[in-house]
Amino acid sequence: MPQGKLHIVPLGGLGEFGMNCMAIRWNDDIVIIDAGMMFPEDDLLGVDVVVPAFTYLEENRDKVRGVLLTHGHEDHIGSVPYLIAEMNIPIYGTEFTLAFIEDKLDEHGLLDNAKLIEMVPGKRFHLGVFTINPIQVTHSIVDAVSLAIHTPLGVIIHTGDFKVDPTPPDNKLFDLHAFAEYGKEGVLALLQDSTNVERPGYTPSERAVRPRFEEIFLHTRRRLFISCFSSSIHRIQLATELAYQFNRKIALVGRSLTDATEIAQDLGYIDLPAAAFITPGQIRDYPPEQVLVLISGTQGEPMSALSRAAVDNHRHAKIESGDTVVLSSRVIPGNEKAIYRVIDHLARRNAEVIYSDGSNPPVHVSGHASQEELKLIINLVRPRYFIPVHGEYRQLKKHAQIAASMKSAVGQVIMIESGDILEFDELGARKAGQAPVGRVCIDSGSNADIVEDLIIKDRKHLSVDGFVMPVLALNKHTGTLESDPEIVMRGFAGATDDATFLEEARSTVRRTLQQSSLEEVSDAGVIKEKIRADLRRFINKNTQRRPLIIPVIVEV
């Protein structure tokens, strides 16, 4: 038997949506599978994106051989620039995935020194002690792969995100044969996507959307707006082809969607004459019945093109009475309020809004495998160990229960979460401690980029209780007040009688100064802290609130 231990270390994505990132280690060799991001929850005020903490990888940077990207969705590639900024390791991905990565790295000024290496399904390559075999799968984005990773202890198959689509629009079929062959040879561990594990049956083919789209194009009498994920190239391809068929000019509104469409054109997924497209500024030059607008903002992002158009605040995209707006995407958990708020605004403009409401034929289909497809892959692979990945805890648990019920196909089911170290050797598998994990909050509009926990804590504090700012003019020689303290309050509801409350607050500040020595008053740091403590006690006693207190001292 080979000497050493095999470790699987999820750094994100297990027990949460997004931030998918996993390290696989054998002795002094580490490969990373995906490096994703997640969008912030409501309590992360002012944060744009959240990425995994790469502490484990940074501590072992000399052992990291490269990052393997299964596909080009943000929850799998969104943190690549932040990873590469820390360690310039080779990036492996399929052609389309690397095209997305190039744009990201260029935006961060990292492209010139990046090492981008194309993976081709079925073509094996070596990374340290590992041999990697990309397996072609189908998903809601083109060029997705699963990864068969040959290790000294056996083969690990990581499915990435997938569904078993028997009729993909690009005719690149799911390679069931490769999974079956590995099942015959023997697989140490299967790591399988859990996103749709709560859905019974099969996920419909991407082609199932076409009949509904044709119906919409046939019956729409004015402008047609379609919003979908910018990475949904098959959906964009379908919309542009139908627009060409129905004699509509195509306008692209929104940066992410424009960039993705240009990449798809460069790689041959969209092959329409240049005359089929118009600029956003030309939308008004054509009769409404001759225009299709592909517009970004399907999740109701506040500054997205669709959100601004919905309140008539977009320079070019004007949505008017009788126009049709199609939201061809799923609702990402947590975005429900924002999306329905946009739909409400569109309804007020008397636009017809079509979104995924369970109707058949559908306007959107998922890119993730449902229960029967998950069972199919398990039956083909027949792993010694089964580990559910990608999903919140209830989904991982449900997936584990399904796999455990397939006793003839699965040896042992093991549940792990982000940070768990799963160790394999000749004696079996076990949890062997914890790796340092966490999240890093990014505010792309700031100079610092990374938002510290203390800043988020202060933002939450301000959002709940506001702030109180006592402003004092002190004589720098005598330490006495030159005038009455001013109390500035923002976002804070004080006592019922504001005048009385403010006067008592001023008295508290005056009393603090009177009870302090000249030495204390002359030390700005000390006296500010004393004022903050006394004022905090007074406010909390009278209002049961805890605003942020920021004393300001002006020496005169």
Asked whether 327 and 345 are in contact (CB, 8 A), the reply is: no
CATH superfamily membership of 6-202+366-442:
Ribonuclease Z/Hydroxyacylglutathione hydrolase-like (3.60.15.10)
Residue 446: is its pLDDT beyond 50? no
Average pLDDT over residues 347-351: 94
Per domain, the residue ranges of the chain are 6-202+366-442, 206-355, 466-555
Identify which of 80, 89, 69 has the alpha carbon closest to the alpha carbon of residue 107: 80
Q: pLDDT category, 448, cuts 50, 70, 90? A: very low
Pairing of strands 439-442, 49-52: antiparallel
Please determine, for residue 452, whether its predicted confidence score (pLDDT) is greater than 70. no
C-alpha pair distances (Å), 553 with each of 423, 526, 534, 549: 58, 12, 16, 13
- pLDDT > 60? residue 381: yes
Closest CA to 187 of 153, 146, 213: 153
Of 103, 39, 111, nearest to 74 by C-alpha is 39
Phi then psi for 389, rounded to 5 degrees?
-135, 170
| Residue-level pLDDT at 324 | 96
Q: Which residue has the higher pLDDT, 332 or 241?
A: 241
Mean pLDDT comparison of 345-359, 384-398, 532-546, highest-scoring range: 384-398
C-beta of residue 209 within 8 angstroms of C-beta of residue 361: yes
Average pLDDT on 497-524 reads 83
* Entry pTM: 0.82
Q: What is the pLDDT of residue 303?
A: 80
Q: What are phi and psi of 263, to 5 degrees?
A: -65, -45
Q: Cα 58 to the chain's mean position, in Å?
A: 22
Asked whether residue 476 carries a pLDDT value surpassing 80, the answer given is no
Distance CA 195, CA 245 (A): 35
What mean pLDDT comes out for the span 269-279? Answer: 93
What amino acid is encoded at 416 in this protein? Answer: I
Looking at residue 132, what is its pLDDT? 98
Confidence category of residue 281, pLDDT binned at 50, 70, 90: very high
The whole-number pLDDT of residue 117 equals 98
Q: How much is the average pLDDT of 13-32?
A: 94
The neighbour count for residue 330, using CB atoms within 10 Å, is 18
Helix (H, G, I), strand (E, B) or coil at 189: strand
Please give the Cα distance from 534 to 543 (Å, whole number). 14
How is residue 178 written in tokens? Answer: 């490769």
Give tens-digit pLDDT for 481-506.
888 888 888 777 655 457 788 888 88
Model pLDDT, residue 453: 57
Q: What percent of the chain lies above the pLDDT cut of 90?
A: 67
Q: Which residues contact 274 (CB under 8 A, 6 or more apart)?
A: none
Q: Which fold has domain 206-355?
A: Rossmann fold (3.40.50)
Element (H, E) at 443: none
What's the full length of the chain, in residues? Answer: 556
Q: List residues bridging with 157 in a β-sheet.
A: 148, 190
pLDDT of residue 212: 94
Report the b/e string of 112-139 with b at 16+ CB within 10 A. Answer: eebeeeebebeeeeebbbbebbbbbbbb
What is the per-residue pLDDT across 236-246, written as a single tens digit (0 to 9) for each? 999 999 999 99
Nearest to 439, CA basis, from 72, 131, 47: 47
* Residue 36 to residue 20: CA distance in whole angstroms: 5
Q: What is the pLDDT of residue 120?
A: 97
| Over residues 339-358, mean pLDDT | 90
Query: Residue 269 and residue 237: Cα distance in Å, rounded?
Result: 7
DSSP H helical ranges for 275-384: 305-310, 336-348, 371-381
- Per DSSP, the three-state class of 152 is coil
Tokens 């002795």 belong to residue: 27
Where b means 16+ CB within 10 Å and e means fewer, 509-530 reads beebbeebeeeebbeeeebbeb
Indicate the pairing of strand 125-127 with strand 130-136: antiparallel
Q: What are residue 352's phi and psi, to 5 degrees?
A: -85, 120
Q: Identify whether the C-beta of residue 450 lies closer than 8 Å to the C-beta of residue 82.
A: no
Helical packing angle, 524-543 and 498-514, nearest 10°: 140
Mean pLDDT of 21-40: 93
Residues 6+ apart with CB under 8 A from 75: 13, 17, 18, 19, 20, 36, 37, 38
Spatial separation of the C-alpha atoms in residues 138 and 117, rounded to whole Å: 21
Average pLDDT rounded to a whole number, residues 234-258: 94
CA–CA dist 247, 254 (Å, integer): 22
Q: What is the DSSP letter of 2?
A: -
Q: Alpha carbon 490 to chain centroid distance?
A: 33
| pLDDT over 50 at 249, yes or no | yes
Per-residue pLDDT band for 43 (boundaries 50, 70, 90) equals low
Paired residues of 130 in beta bridges = 127
Mean pLDDT for the chain overall: 90
- What fold, for 466-555? Ubiquitin-like (UB roll) (3.10.20)
